[in-house]
Amino acid sequence: MEDHLKYDVAIMGGGLAGLALSIQLAKKNYSVILFEKEKYPFHKVCGEYISMESWNFLEELGVPLSTLNLPIIDTLNLTAPNGKSFRTKLPLGGFGISRYKMDNLLVSLAKQGGAQILEETKVNDVCFNDDKFIIQYISKKSAGSKQIEASSCCGAFGKRSNLDVKWNRDFVAKKNSRINNFIAVKYHIKTEWPANVIGLHNFSNGYCGISQIEEQKYCLCYLTTAENLKKSGNSIQQMQETILYRNPILKSIFSSSEFIFQSPVTISQISFAKKSLVENHLLLLGDAAGMITPLCGNGMSMALHSSKMAATLIDLFLSKKIDRKKMENGYQQLWRSHFSNRVVAGRILQHFFGSVLLSNLFVGAFKAFPFLAKNIIKKTHGKPF
Ligand SMILES: Cc1cc2nc3c(=O)[nH]c(=O)nc-3n(C[C@H](O)[C@H](O)[C@H](O)COP(=O)(O)OP(=O)(O)OC[C@H]3O[C@@H](n4cnc5c(N)ncnc54)[C@H](O)[C@@H]3O)c2cc1C
């Protein structure tokens, strides 16, 4: 193999986790290559509310958040399917920015820092042999499959990728259940909604978030079961009108807003099942390591935080201070100590909010005992890192 095809670090997937990792390791002068199957900038299904726990970390990476005039969100407005609403201050709060803009800011920083970014390039396979990784990929710009070699390798390929299927990871092999067969839909809209409030509106077997992003636009994004779409003849429009609109607040938002996209961005086969953190010596980051239910609003912070943990351990490994086994074990221990309880709390909440009866009851209980809501929010969020 030629010299220029060897890297210290190979990263598969250029979402928040992969891009943040590439910036941190390129800053330490390691040779970094990142593969992203799409072309930046591009839209992604996400509620686009980032918990404040990530603010300092993003600024340290070089994202000039305080100059971007982004909406700061400090209040949650929760509505039940029957339209009853509950409002509370968020302990830490967050800010709004589209993934189109955020991922693009991060990729520019990664390139400036010296990471090699291969866009429109999909990784097809990774093998670990003789203490190194061989990564096979295919690029839109050139014919045929190519390969490179790397000393360390991370999977930051998100919720579900071709590699999950290829490796038949446990969560892919599991039969459809209440935690692993969701779909999600996202729009950008212009509407009337307070800039400091994130709305979380429940409906039968799902919930829809609304919050402001840059340029006074709003992100309107919902998660529901694949079953709800099937019941609606696989028509998103019909599902919205017959299921979401039963919550009067959602009916009003959908009917009175200006939709910026011609058609929404959508994804399917979302699973909140437990995932492995290391697979064939690859460290898994962000959603590839486990997904917290979106009603908790901090999957992005977990993705960023996991990149910081991985960067620390990979640095120790590449500078020969620890061996590969210690790197892998150390990463898993760190991940579990910070995220395991949050992910479990999110999964429990998801069950309650799927049911019309229970989410009506929950909102009623929060109105009577507001401290309950504050405690639940704390259990699903972390601290600045
Ligand atoms: C409906 C919904 C709403 C959400 N709302 C919020 C919210 O408001 N706040 C919040 O904090 N979190 C939210 N989340 C969670 C958040 O979106 C994720 O946790 C976050 O995007 C994870 O980042 P990531 O880097 O792990 O993955 P991603 O951002 O998904 O990036 C993975 C990247 O890998 C690429 N890729 C995949 N396979 C390959 C391959 N083989 N080769 C090359 N590239 C590949 C993909 O194209 C993608 O760009 C929401 C999630 C959903 C489903």
Q: List CB contacts of 371: < 8 A, sequence separation 6 or more.
A: none
Mutate to test the pocket of ligand 1, among 117, 147, 157, 244 (most ligand atoms within 8 A of CB): 157
| Segment 105-136, tens digit of pLDDT | 999 999 999 999 999 999 999 999 999 999 99
Instruction: Locate the DSSP E strands across 140-181.
Output: 145-155
- The atom number, within ligand 1, closest to the CA of 219 reads 8
Burial (0-12, 13-18, 19+ Cβ within 10 Å), 261? exposed
Of 300, 309, 349, 381, best ligand 1 pocket probe by most atoms within 8 Å of the beta carbon: 300
pLDDT, average across residues 144-169: 95
Q: Is the pLDDT of residue 1 over 60?
A: no
161 ligand 1 Cβ < 6 A: yes
Query: For residue range 44-81, what is the model confidence (pLDDT) as tens digits?
Result: 999 999 999 999 999 999 999 999 999 999 999 999 99
Atom of ligand 1 nearest to the CA of 51: 11
Give the integer Cα–Cα distance in Å for 360 and 104.
Answer: 39
3-state DSSP assignment of residue 180: coil
Return the ligand 1 atom nearest residue 103 CA: 29
Instruction: Please give the distance, rounded to the nearest whole angstrom, from the Cα atom of residue 159 to the centre of ligand 1.
Output: 6
- How close is the Cα of 203 to the center of ligand 1, in Å? 24
**Residue 178: pLDDT above 70?**
no
Segments in 28-98 forming alpha helices (H):
55-61
User: 162 CB under 6 A from ligand 1?
Assistant: yes
Q: How far away, in angstroms, is 202 Cα from ligand 1 center?
A: 22
17 C-alpha to ligand 1 centroid (Å)? 8
| Cis bond before residue 41 (omega within 30° of 0) | yes
Q: Which two tokens stand for residue 224?
A: 């529901």
Which is the closest atom of ligand 1 to the Cα of 137? 42
Identity (one letter) of the amino acid at 132? K
Here the tokens at position 267 are 């994804």
Residue 183's nearest CA partner among 145, 227, 224, 240 is: 224
**Residue whose CA is at the smallest distance from ligand 1 atom 15:** 299
pLDDT tens-digit readout, 311-336: 999 999 999 999 999 999 999 999 99
Q: How far apart are CA 312 and CA 295, in angstroms?
A: 29
CA of 271 to the centre of ligand 1 (A): 12
Give the mean model confidence (pLDDT) for residues 334-347. Answer: 91
Under the banding of pLDDT at 50, 70 and 90, the label for residue 358 is confident
C-beta of 164 in contact with ligand 1 (< 6 A): no
pLDDT of residue 177: 65
Strand 182-190 relative to strand 197-203, pairing: unpaired
